[in-house]
Amino acid sequence: MTITAAADGSALGNPGPAGWAWYVDENCWAAGGWPHGTNNMGELMAVLDLFRATAHLPNEPLHILCDSQYVINSVTKWMPGWKRKGWKKSDGKPVLNLDLLKEIDAALVGRKYTFEWVKGHAGHDLNEAADDRARDAATAYQAKREPNRGPGFPGSGQAAASPASPAARPEPAQDLPDALYGDPGQPDLFSMLEDEPDPSFATPREASLESVVDLERELLDPAVRADPLRAAELMHPDFQEIGASGRLWSRQDILEMLADDEAPSVELEVLGLARLDAATALLTYRSASARGSSLRSSVWQHNDGQWRLRFHQGTREG
């Protein structure tokens, strides 16, 4: 029988007091966290603990509901390339959250699993339950008290992971709060970012025109925007945006702004997708969020084996 569970993470300050949780039902869930961590750490730890908690049922497929494209892509797309490179990026540095990713890679062996992306904070019962428990755990660490770790998975004989476990001590990640197109923040926050794309992110899927939609959705995902290196890799070094006010924004402007603004969840409705030439694609779409709806256009260029966002413009509706 397939085990369906939602996995989620939370960080108050990102980084700050952080929590994670997975949830099947009221009698089957677990949560934990750290005094200091990131949202991405929480998302990954929730998935890792779910695999560990169900290790006594190796023949039962796992169906994991996750609102993080970063986690889904890390597990299902990017890890093979990272492993081939010795868990290194093109600049020779280790990938972020390396310890957690290695633990997940080991936990996948012999398991049957699928991931399904669900929109966060949209009323999905399992996702909301996992999110509530992850946030409660983060709040507990903020208040310097022990979180409610939940009943765990029946028959596993495993308590929820604690901060003392090896997997709960990943290397600190360089994350930024949720945001996208908006006002710029403080300067020089992202001077460490490299313009060179990481070939380990490129896959045959990314060479197709249809993958542009996936990448646009990824750039709108709060968890991906919480990873400054991945956000930078998705944006062309010469990226520009024309805002609704007519102001011209640079790549650095946008990356700095990501650190300060908290963007709502965004829905994307594709209006058109066309190839302008062999290496350029135009995506037009309607975005909808708590702030209203906008008509948007994005120009993506394919170079060095990967699509990167070259230009963006949006106009509010209504």
- Of 8, 178, 227, 233, which is the active-site residue? 8
Catalytic, 124? Answer: no
| 91 part of the active site | no
| Separate counts of helices (H) and strands (E) for the chain | 9, 11
> What does the block give as tokens for 73?
């892509």
Annotated catalytic residue 8: yes
Residues in CB range of 241: below 8 A, 6 or more apart: 181, 248, 249, 254, 311, 312, 313, 314
From the number of C-beta atoms within 10 Å of its C-beta (0-12, 13-18, 19+), residue 274 rates as exposed
The secondary element (H helix, E strand) that includes residue 268 is strand 267-277
Specify whether 67 is catalytic.
Answer: yes
Q: For residue 190, give the H/E element and its range.
A: none
Pairing of strands 306-316, 28-37: unpaired
Considering the candidates 56, 60, 121, 210, report the single residue annotated as catalytic: 121
Peptide bond just before 15 cis, omega within 30 deg: yes
Q: Catalytic residue among 49, 67, 227, 256, which?
A: 67
Which value, in Å, is the radius of gyration of the alpha carbons in the chain? 19
Give the side-chain half-sphere CA count within 13 A for 119.
Answer: 12
Q: Which of 49, 103, 131, 233 is catalytic?
A: 131
Give whole-number Cα distances, 111 to 21, 158, 257, in Å: 20, 18, 40
Distance CA(306)–CA(302), nearest Å, equals 5
Helix residue ranges per DSSP H, the chain: 39-53, 69-73, 79-84, 98-107, 125-142, 211-220, 222-225, 228-234, 251-258
Q: Active site residue: 42, 43, 120, 198, which one?
A: 43
Catalytic residue numbers read: 8-9, 43, 67, 121, 131
